[in-house]
Structure 1
Amino acid sequence: MRFGTAWRAAWVLAALLAAFPIAAQGVKPDTAPLSARSADFVWMEGEVREGPVLVVVSLDAQRAYVYRGAARIAVSNVSTGRPGFETPQGVYTVLEKRREHYSNLYDDAPMPFMQRLTWGGLALHAGALPGRPASHGCIRLPYAFAEKLFGVTSRDTTIVIARAADDPASTASTPISSVSASDAASLPYTWTPDAAHGGPLAIVYSTHDREVVVLRGASEIGRATVDLVGESRPGRHVFWLLSGARTEASVVVPGRPALRWLEISLEPEGGDREIRLADASGAGTIRVNEAFARVVYDILEPGTVLLITDAPLQSMGNAITPSVLSAERTR
């Protein structure tokens, strides 16, 4: 296959990027751009060989982004569910992996490098990419990309599926504050850490429901009511907890150091950036029960995912209702 000068330059740049870990601050790893051809992807793992893996699928951009540690190591075009079979948003974990799999719903259609996200039929797998949403709900990947992704993920790898923000929004330095013990009764919470037996940690906060859910693997271990004063940022925002701590104190848990969060762009040409959690809410001030904030803080670990969404929790997919995961296995 012959490539033009622009294509050769793009792939030379991709090769150079692969030689270096990508920094968390002001990253724009898409400078090795994908073309309009649906089968394109860029893999930039380079020296970044260790750390938790996160896969983020942007429905609006029809892109998948792969992270390891603080680095975005890959980006690929995808094809998600077509109208009537829309891919559900949510925070998922890989439940099962099969290099060779065939659909038992759609005429034994091949699903190479299948990674199951729900027992009800949602999965990542290699498939045709026509340049638009075209599947029955699964996330189709370029064959070579699906093979590479299969090699770096494991059971319990976190997969986030989300839309981008409805409108561009800049962050404002407004505080997230915990609620004193005297106010605890007004903001109830539940905490059942024994409901899970290992797996990655994910937190989903719905500004629509004013409720936060904590997931360990595919199991809910905590839920709390949140008091939101003012307006929140529109759309969906994904944050990835980095290692280390910031120099300032936490505004969520008094007396503890602030943590380092990477805000992941859901836009095709967006850049990831490190952000203070206090900036994540936009114009709103978030108040959470102090006791709940402390128990969550104590289990946070690098690789924890935080999804802030303006969608109601019940529309965010099976990850928010773990009992659905025990439904009859399909596909």
Structure 2
Amino acid sequence: MRRSAGVWLGLLLCIAVQASAAVPFWGAKQSSPIDTSPATLKPGEWVWGGDDKNAGPMAVVVSLTEQRAYVYRNGILMAWTTVSTGKAGHETPTGVFTILQKDKDHRSSIYNSAPMPYQQRLTWDGVALHAGGLPGYPESHGCVHLPSAFAEKLFGASNMGMTVVVAEEGSAPVSLVHPGALSPIDPTTGKDVDIPLLEDGRAWRWEPGRAPEGPLSIVLSRSDRILFVYRNGTEVGRTRITLNSPTPRTGTHAYIVAAGYVPPVAGNVDVAASMPSWIAIGVPGREDEAGAALPADEVNQVVIPDAFKAQVLPLVQPGTVLVATDAHVLPQTTGVHVQVIDSDPPER
């Protein structure tokens, strides 16, 4: 059947419109393994260690200097990614922002209806987090471009009002420009936090009044020989630990307290009888570990003061996350980047 030139032209125009409306896919489709250091990510690569909205407040730190973003849940680094921020003349503003609006299928009202999937607005004049091009250097018109798959995960995990801090060398503390395993900011205010080290000779510190309620998370650093406890995004305690194994487990692992655990009553804690069972989380690169129980002999590799355990155990609940890393996380050692979401014993 013959068609008129006008019909063919109409079909071609329709195809052209559909093609122009297609949304590109930027960056890697899957997470890199959990042990991938932020510093080794190539443009478009990212790591998502897993998430649970019930685990505590989320916050994001964007380093313009590094061209990377770091996502924290309850004070612990759980995802990191390469980004592309504003180019010269369109610089991404620094400071503390909150998510003002979320739009999964957003298109620009300024730049020819350009697709900006999984948009999370930071300012009303056009700055946002969203999926976009990732050439390895700043090229946006002020927004923070994320890999598409990462932007989708962050969009689903975040909430309205989530804190986002954008930092740059020369105008922000080193802890914000080069973030590490522990959140450098208060998740509510976005202000940088400065938690003092343990004094020489002091075994542990416990300050539950800093966060009287909320979910608990625990971080272990084998290199620093310190265990950190976070509640509702705030550090409430830390203790020195020792490792009694000549060959402690290495790498990144994550564990969660198994269902059915009943915490002891504060002030009446039988430490030996109150230890929870830990179940592995299948983080990227270690998916085969999912659901496996952490063997008792590995738990016993880590020696923690009983007096500190007695403070922490009444707050532990099913769902509490234990994370461990081989990397340093203390402030004076955070020059090299850290990978987190790990559940093994640290050192020091």
TM-score interval, smaller chain: 0.3 to 0.5
TM-score (norm 1): 0.48
**Structure with greater Cα Rg:** 2
TM-score (norm 2): 0.46
